[in-house]
A and B are shown apart, each in its own frame.
Chain A
Amino acid sequence: MADKMNMEILRYRPEQDEKPWVQKFEVPFTHETSLLEALCYIKDNLDGSLSFRWSCRMAICGSCGMMVNGTPRLACKTFLRDYAGEVMRIEPLANFPIERDLVVDLSDFIEKLERIKPYIIPKEEKKDDEEYLQTPTQLEKYHQFSGCINCGLCYAACPQYKLNKEFIGPAVIALAYRYNLDSRDAGMKQRLELLNQESGVWSCTFVGYCSQVCPKGVDPASAIQLSKIHSTTDYIISKITPGAD
């Protein structure tokens, strides 16, 4: 007989509730059951009004980020077996406004993602049947930072973003760094305009929890420190070349 898991889920329906409240559920689970499957079980059988984002169930689309016992995790890659005997406290992703139940408003994150010019600004044009040569080493240099699935867990983990919502945040800087390192790109100068600001890389005090919670090992904390070096070099250059700034 499958074991039972006690779950406390933070509910919030904007049209009925003034503030979030906790609803308790009891969900049967086996060795394979993921938190996402448990939430779908609740929605199909216990309370149809429970709303949450999900799609791929294989930790690649980045929809199902939420807080599990206070830790930002992907629901599809969190298994009830690891919480046997405990109560699972499920809350919406931290540091974002709650839209409804476990759905948060990610528009701040998406807007910053668009501001960082996350696209190749090419050094030289290429004909349409000719590729830029990029050795495996050149690819390997930025490849880790191109693995970000935009799930937002690092924003939920970052105390600096909690304290100052102007901070553009770990994932956006990692994406900027991914393009700044790409051998085909020449857009670093433009992206540095945003990174050089107080709310750019300079809001980061290297807590390092963003890299700890990242489900894809992108290590945004490292990207931020390396971007600080870029920004500092750019600062020095701008100060010594007259009228550059």
Chain B
Amino acid sequence: MDIVKADVAIVGAGGAGLRAAIAVAESAPDLDVALISKVYPMRSHTVAAEGGAAGVYRDDDSLYKHFVDTVAGGDWLCEQDVVDFFVDRAPRELYQLEHWGCPWSRQPDGRINVRPFGGMKVPRTWFAADRTGFHMLHTLFQTSIKYSHIHRLDEHFALDLIVHDNQVQGVLTFDIQNGIPRLVLAKSVVIATGGSSRCYKFNTNGGIVTGDGMALAYRHGAKLRDMEFVQYHPTGLPGCGVLMTEACRGEGGVLTNKDGYRYLQDYGLGPETPLGHPKSKYMELGPRDRVSQAFWQEKKKGRTIKTPLGDVVNLDLRHLGEKYLHERLPFICELAKAYVGLDPVDAPIPVCPTVHYTMGGIETDGKTACTIKGLYAAGECASVGIHGANRLGSNSLVETVVFGHVAGDEAAKFSREVDFADQNKTEKEAEDLYAASRSIIGAKGHDENMGRIRAEMGQTMDDGVGIYRDDASIRATIAKLAELKARYKKVKVSDDSNVFNTEWLNAVELGFLLDNAYAMAYSALNRTESRGSHQRLDYPERDDKKFLAHSLATYNGDDAPTITYGSVKITKLKPAKRVYGAEGEKAEAAAKAAAEAEAAKEGK
């Protein structure tokens, strides 16, 4: 088998993967990086992010405020020490991107412009018109070209990790273009393969977001943390699920039901703010889980609009005016025209909640290190602990660069301390793994249609583990997933070719999705409380006594994953009732008064 030896291997070339590669190339210029990606780097799903990246910028903002918003937004399931580190490093990484040429939108005097975003008290979301992810990814990819020590293995599919006694030794990849397997031997591996939203049928994610890295680490003993927390983005286009960025609401867009009524005020996000003057943490600027949950309630009351593509509400941007829309949201106008044939300047856009982000992922410590030695994870595939039960909009893009940088540095440091695994033994193992993976091609008795398994998985996840869940719906999904996993063992793959055999690769991806979906469903079943984006109809209250804890799923092959719970680091912010809108304002005032009183007491 072809072998590539590199000091550090990085799986996934999106925001986190590229930033990690650059971090290694900058902090350890003598080391070499093998950047493995199943698509060209500029196709990674980071490119589809629109809203922005959060980092403290304004004078009236502070690291502590960003800390409070993130922890409160995550319904106190965040590792507060890691959030502290994250909010401190965020601005620096965004300045670094600016130095590398990222075209951030600007204020008239040339300084960076920031805009309001859901759940953020003070505007701190840096943005590049409404294509922030696109500009960040292209800036990172183009900057990575500067470094000769980054060796890209484009269109290489990561089939498996090579792990010997809980230490990662390399990655078995498949060179899709040449149709041959290639073993990448490395002393440390960074996983940056993004989320796993494709478990769901209706989602805003690209076709490549199949949670490969998550499933690989999971199968090799790493635990998947907080998998039950799946974020529904409130405004996706019905049918195709294309994203209408939260920036639409940040710039003043409003959500109305079939009577044209801004229904969010009925769900603890009121009172109604004036049209075109959004107020932080009020109405349409509430966090994503609350706004999505409000849609679900409206639908139950039958006040949403029926369309052939399902129930929708109206995202109305008309009052913003054409010039403002074409300057601030040009991509949204383009998408609305292309996919629903409407111009936001003169017609409201039909939207409904769609699966958007997986809060959970591979359990890592504050420095992106996994329980498997030498393995690091950064970005959406990792659960580094800053999102908790609900991620705030624009915290994820900046997470990829902050923790991509950390993962790169840590992986470089680790690779200096160890040596390569024995090449022949590892090569033999890789050949067996490759043969096993290829064995499903043309296997006898394999007659299950892959497309149907994928569709049924997506449907059952949408039905059972959606915005609102209960014991019965989750158990139904688990039963269906078990049946699908059995049918998956008989999946039909007729294409036995090598070059660009996408049918076989899709089958492998489907395997990853099923494992991740299983972890999501079981984690949801065991968390009998409602917190952040995990809302149980049968347990509507948040239960801090039993469930102020991370869920940890351990892989058991085909059987159910064992779910255990890990403690949550609370440092500065005691768990409190999570409130928004006027109620939130009152609570904040009270908290400040209490803090001042306490400070005064200490002062005496």
Q: B36: shortest Cβ distance to chain A, in Å?
A: 16
Residues of A within 8 A of B112 (CB): 131
- The answer on a CB contact under 8 Å between B106 and A134 is yes
Given A13-B497, A60-B134, A100-B500, verify A132-B240 contact (CB < 8 Å). no
Which residues of chain A from 132 to 153 have any CB-CB distance to chain B below 8 Å in the complex? 132-136, 138-139, 142-143, 146-147, 149-150
Q: B154: shortest Cβ distance to chain A, in Å?
A: 7
Which residues of chain A from 97 to 127 have any CB-CB distance to chain B below 8 Å in the complex? 99-101, 103, 105-106, 110, 113-114, 117-120, 122, 126
Given A48-B494, A61-B42, A77-B338, verify A146-B100 contact (CB < 8 Å). no
Residues of A within 8 A of B42 (CB): 61-62, 149-150
Residues of B within 8 A of A15 (CB): 179, 497-499
Residues of A within 8 A of B95 (CB): 126, 128-131
Q: B456: shortest Cβ distance to chain A, in Å?
A: 12
Residues of B within 8 A of A163 (CB): none
Which residues of chain B from 108 to 161 have any CB-CB distance to chain A below 8 Å in the complex? 108-112, 129, 131, 134-135, 138, 142-143, 145-146, 154
Residues of A within 8 A of B242 (CB): 57-58
Q: How far is the CA of A106 from the CA of B500 in the complex (A)?
A: 14
- The answer on a CB contact under 8 Å between A61 and B47 is yes
B 464-479 binary contact with A (CB < 8 Å = 1; else 0) = 0000000000000000
- The answer on a CB contact under 8 Å between B339 and A58 is yes
Given A49-B494, A60-B47, A63-B39, verify A129-B92 contact (CB < 8 Å). yes
Which one of B99, B106, B240, B500 contacts A126 once the chains associate, using CB atoms below 8 Å?
B99
Q: How far is the CA of A14 from the CA of B516 in the complex (A)?
A: 34
- The answer on a CB contact under 8 Å between B138 and A44 is no
Whether B450 is near chain A, meaning CB under 8 Å from some CB there, is yes
Whether B451 is near chain A, meaning CB under 8 Å from some CB there, is yes
Q: B498: shortest Cβ distance to chain A, in Å?
A: 7
B 241-280 binary contact with A (CB < 8 Å = 1; else 0) = 0110000000000000000000000000000000000000
Given A51-B501, A54-B207, A58-B243, verify A45-B451 contact (CB < 8 Å). yes
CB nearest to B38 among chain A residues: A55
How many A residues touch B, CB cutoff 8 Å?
63
Residues of B within 8 A of A150 (CB): 40, 42
Segment of A179-187, A201-209, A226-234 engaged in the interface with chain B = A179-187
Most buried by B among A51, A133, A138, A182: A51
- The answer on a CB contact under 8 Å between B40 and A106 is yes
Q: How far is the CA of A45 from the CA of B503 in the complex (A)?
A: 12
Whether A32 is near chain B, meaning CB under 8 Å from some CB there, is yes
Residues of A within 8 A of B145 (CB): 113-114, 117-119
Q: How far is the CA of A182 from the CA of B239 in the complex (A)?
A: 39
Whether A165 is near chain B, meaning CB under 8 Å from some CB there, is no
Q: How far is the CA of A61 from the CA of B133 in the complex (A)?
A: 11
Whether B526 is near chain A, meaning CB under 8 Å from some CB there, is no
Q: A182: shortest Cβ distance to chain B, in Å?
A: 6
Q: A32: shortest Cβ distance to chain B, in Å?
A: 5
Q: How far is the CA of A44 from the CA of B135 in the complex (A)?
A: 33
- The answer on a CB contact under 8 Å between A53 and B501 is no
Q: B439: shortest Cβ distance to chain A, in Å?
A: 17
Whether A59 is near chain B, meaning CB under 8 Å from some CB there, is yes
Whether B320 is near chain A, meaning CB under 8 Å from some CB there, is no
Residues of B within 8 A of A138 (CB): 110
Residues of A within 8 A of B48 (CB): 56, 58, 60-61
Whether B564 is near chain A, meaning CB under 8 Å from some CB there, is no
Which one of B105, B208, B503 contacts A49 once the chains associate, using CB atoms below 8 Å?
B503
Question: Contacts A105-B177, A133-B111, A136-B107 given; 8 further ones with Cβ under 8 A?
Answer: A14-B499, A55-B208, A61-B42, A114-B145, A131-B104, A146-B103, A149-B47, A150-B42
Q: List 28 A-B contacts (CB under 8 A).
A: A13-B497, A16-B497, A43-B503, A43-B506, A44-B452, A45-B451, A49-B495, A49-B503, A51-B500, A56-B45, A56-B207, A58-B243, A61-B43, A61-B44, A119-B143, A128-B95, A129-B95, A130-B95, A131-B111, A135-B109, A139-B103, A139-B106, A143-B129, A149-B134, A150-B42, A179-B101, A182-B101, A185-B101
| 8 pairs of A and B residues whose beta carbons are closest in the complex | A44-B451, A133-B110, A55-B206, A120-B101, A49-B495, A100-B500, A118-B142, A56-B206
